[in-house]
Structure 1
Amino acid sequence: MKLKSKQGQVLARVVASTVAGLAISGIATAQTQQVEVVHQWTSSSESYALQALKDGLQKKGMGWKDSAIAGDDGANQQQALQARLAAGNAPAAAQAQPQLLYAYAEQNELASLDSYAKAGNWDHLLTPELIPYLKYKGTWYGVPMDEHRENMFWINKKILQKYGDKVPTTWDEFNTLAEKMKKDGIIPVALGGEDWQEAEIFSDLVLGMGGPAFYKKAIINHDPATVQSPTMVKVFDELRKIISYTDPNRAGRDWNVATQMVIDGKAGMQIHADWAKGEFLRAGKKPGVDFVCAATPGSGHAFIWVLDSFAFFKQKNPAAQANQALLANTVMDPDVQQNFNLRKGSLPPRIDVAQDKFDDCAKTNFADRAAGNKAGEVIPSFIENAALERDIRAAYVDVVTQFVNTPSMTSADAVKKLVAAAKNT
């Protein structure tokens, strides 16, 4: 509570002093009582989660100007935002994953958040694995909103009960269950047709079949010897099997539509990060009753994290700067973080947020995050723009996409292409 109070008091002073300056200079505050945020959260659960932040701002007397840009795993948002930056029309803030945060910082577009971070004691308030990814060259540029776990999968409870109600803990067990569903005319795996969804499964297989050390060498370090190992060939073999368990109509399907297939019992399982849980909850479904959540087979306590933060763009208007201070304060408010992440399916980046209101899925992830941190097994996602620079990420994803959509390509061929992709970036 002291941290919350101290942070709130300091940031409140920033806002108050700026607004006072506006009054002296005669600038009308009526035009400055809203903050524009560019983001990609447009699904039902994402919009519901975002409302928690909007409500928090409203309580502080601040309006919200919504600039939502959906599609292509945030690529549409990035393109539109880059055009605005080129035109000198930056918003107050934008949702940004680490590599995008770095890109905006390199363009000298971001405002430093060092004063906020020092006042709020962020170095000791946030879960430690995220902190280096909220800074660029030692300066704070990101305010964290959530932390997702990528290596998760979801099962329709009624369908699972038909097959003994046992959650697969190995990929062989997963295949056995999927084969039974397929034989009975059930779509075993719900999947969309976007490249990042396919690559996310690949990422989970790298971890589950190779382990955390293998993931770090093959993905983060893109070590050629590791990439072309027999283990990586087996990863592609399993990926081919999983694709065979999906339906042929998945092209162009959004991730949340795939989640809905599991909710409705049209498919048995989905391999997807825990933002899928937000869709289950928004549909009124309960974990352990209507659906089952679990880390993907072979994960153990390993936790592939995904971070959403807000980057704050430089503003010349003192009123706009005051609005940014209020937004930062609200994002870091423990109640806002709790309410947002309860709805989103994720974990709060603040380590002092109470866990008692979170469901069993989240509590498992809290426990695995803690155990994984002790073992060095909390790992950044490469799909969601954290572990790899964007050109290397794109090269890896392109190979996975080619493999998935080219049935004649062998796993050995895919490995060769992956090694070449890593060398050419």
Structure 2
Amino acid sequence: MKLWSLCALLLLVCQPTFAAGTVEVLHWWTSKGESKAVQVLKDKMEAKGHHWKDFAIAGGGGQSAMTVLKMRAISGNPPTAAQLKGQDIQEWGRLGFLTSLDKVAEQEHWENVLLPEVEQIVNDLQLIKYDGQYVAVPVTLHRVNWLWINPHIFKLAGAKVPTTLAEFYVAADKIKAAGYIPLAHGGESWQDATLFEAVALSVLGAQDYAKAFVDLDLTELSSDKMVEVFRQFKKMRQYIDPNAKGRRWNQATEMLMHDQAAMQIMGDWAKGEFTSEHKVAGKDYLCVPVPGTQGMFSYNLDTITFFKLKSNEEDERAQQDLAQILLTKPFQREFSLYKGSIPIRKDVSLKGFDTCSLASMKAFKFAAKNNALVPSFSHNLATSSDVQSAIIDVVSRFFDDPSADPKMAAVRLSRAVKSAM
């Protein structure tokens, strides 16, 4: 007994003293696929001995989450980190809320691990640094301009997979005549904007899209081409069921899985929902570029941004461990498999990824070489939140009004962007 007591005492003495910290990450990854992806991060943090305090705010567009974040920050109690994107990161940096991740970045060699195309994006858009210091970590790369297809309904309706907007309408008419909903959609403003963005990329092309939604060229925003964008966008409305208002994006995806709808225009986070239900790409569902956007890639790059803490040393250590995990090879691979995204490290093998992920990576590299990569304005990559809100407001109001005039909508879009700049 004495010998056993001595051994137990020695084990206790020899164990490293490590006080667990707590991490609280604000995000809006709440669907089935997204929740499984978040679980990967939670498990890895808990494996390091830390406590995970989930801070999920439902709502795919993130508007509600940003409202909550502002309230927490103003009250002097920001979370450990938050899902922030685009120009908002620079704004939070100017306000003095962000903390430096330079120590982790140096230890983990962040300068050398990203895909070169992703490195170019984060540098051009200032997505991970403020005032020369790392303050955020890129996590996922998504393609937004995907058309998801239920092949079973297409076969029953005798429809062909569309490659142009004209072909889309032909297929949609056949599907509608067969008694199915052609286009699954949710009546949330950010979903309207995602659909509008896809139509805009198809009509305008990558260069004019960039003029309008990245450069914010007011002439381009009110041009005849933009009038045509609104005209085509309005035409989409007739293929959406009357119960769409308020439907969440993942519920729209479920409509494809349950043979209720034939198509959905949504980013490849939708693939995470198919994966969560064990659906097989190329068999149970198809992924093709939004008609007319072949060769182009509208991207959404999620980043986790880190805030200054007024808490203890343990929480600060947990915060640094969180930053370290996000760009490791195992996390990048596991998270992307659940999330539907593609890894952003250049040394992560795509073995085991499905045909949609492989197609997404191929399209990403092709678009980068051909100057056809564009940031998604609907997902806050191309503009400030103020400009994005102005665009979405015009787009949603137009989509909700059956009598709205496309020409007047283009004029309103230009005026709204000008007032928000």
Q: TM-score scaled to structure 2, two decimals?
A: 0.91
| 1:200 paired residue among 194, 200, 220 | 194
Q: For residue 301 of structure 2, give the secondary structure of its aligned residue in structure 1.
A: strand
Write out aligned runs for 1:124-135 (5 A): 124-126=112-114, 127-132=118-123, 133-135=127-129
Q: 1:243-283, CA deviations, whole angstroms, 9 ceiling, x for partnerless residues?
A: 11001111111111111111111111001111111111111
Deviation at 1:72, TM superposition (A): 6.0
Aligned to 1:166: 160
Name the SS for the 1:309 alignment partner: strand
| Equivalent pair of 1:146/1:348 in contact (CA under 8 Å) | yes
Deviations 1:96-125 (A, max 9, x none): 222332232122111012232233232332
1:272 aligns with 2:236: no
C-alpha RMSD of the superposition: 1.8
Aligned counterpart, 2:8: none
The residue that corresponds to 2:108 in the other structure is 120
Which residue of 404, 418, 421 corresponds with 1:409?
Answer: 404
Aligned-partner Cα distance in 2 for 1:228–1:83: 36
AA aligned to 1:275 is W
Superposed displacement of residue 305, structure 1 = 1.0
Unaligned runs of 5+ in 2: 1-15
Is the contact between residue 28 and residue 62 of structure 2 (CA under 8 Å) also seen in structure 1?
Answer: yes
* Matches of 2:120 and 2:362, distance apart in 1: 15
Alignment match, 1:99: 87
Deviations 1:321-344 (A, max 9, x none): 211111111111111110101111
Does 226-235 or 290-299 show the bigger shift? 226-235
- Supply the distance in 1 between the matched residues of 2:271 and 2:160 (Cα, whole angstroms): 20
**Are 2:317 and 1:322 equivalent residues in the alignment?**
yes
The match for 1:236 among 222, 230, 253 is 230
Percent identical:
39
Deviation at 1:71, TM superposition (A): 2.5
| Aligned equivalent of 1:288, options 257, 271, 282 | 282
2:256 is the counterpart of 1:262 = yes
Superposition deviation, residue 187 in structure 1: 0.7
Q: Deviations over 1:70-114 (max 9, x none)?
A: 126212211112111111112211222223322321221110122
Residues in 2 aligned to 1:192 and 1:373: alpha-carbon distance in whole angstroms: 31
SS in 1 for 2:219: helix
Aligned to 1:26: none
Q: Is 1:88 paired with 2:76?
A: yes
Specify every segment of 5 or more residues in structure 1 that has no aligned partner in the other structure, as ranges: 1-19, 24-28
Q: Which residue of 1 aligns with 2:179?
A: 185
Residue identity opposite 1:332 in structure 2: L
Partners in 1 of 2:187 and 2:131 — Cα distance? Answer: 37
Structure 2 counterpart of 1:224, from 218, 233, 238 = 218
1:60 aligns with 2:41: no
Q: What residue in structure 2 maps to residue 336 of structure 1? A: 331
1:149-198 CA distance string (max 9 Å, x none): 11111011201223456321111111110011112221100100101101
Q: Which deviates the most, 294-303 or 353-362?
A: 294-303
After TM superposition, the runs of 4+ consecutive aligned structure 1 residues lying more than 4 A away are none
Deviation at 1:301, TM superposition (A): 2.2
For 2:246, the equivalent position in structure 1 comes to: 252
Equivalent-residue separation in structure 2 for 1:404 and 1:385 (angstroms): 20
CA distance in 2, matches of 1:315, 1:34: 11
Q: Which letter does structure 2 place at the counterpart of 1:86? A: I
- 2:386 counterpart (366, 391, 409): 391
8 Å Cα contact 1:52-1:339 kept in structure 2: yes
CA distance in 1, matches of 2:237, 2:50: 47
Paired residues, number = 399
Pair 1:378 & 2:369 matched: no
Q: Does 1:77 align with 2:65?
A: yes
From 145, 148, 155, the counterpart of 1:154 = 148
CA contact 1:130–1:307 (8 Å) conserved in 2? no
SS in 1 for 2:148: strand
The 1-side partners of 2:297 and 2:353 are apart by 18
Return the alpha-carbon distance in structure 2 between the equivalents of residues 76 and 192 of structure 1: 17
Letter aligned with residue 266 of structure 1: Q
Q: What amino acid sits opposite 2:242 in the alignment?
A: P
Contact 1:206 1:214 in 2 (8 A): no
* Contact 1:287–1:359, Cα closer than 8 Å, also in 2: yes
Whole-angstrom CA distance in 2 between matches of 1:359 and 1:392: 36
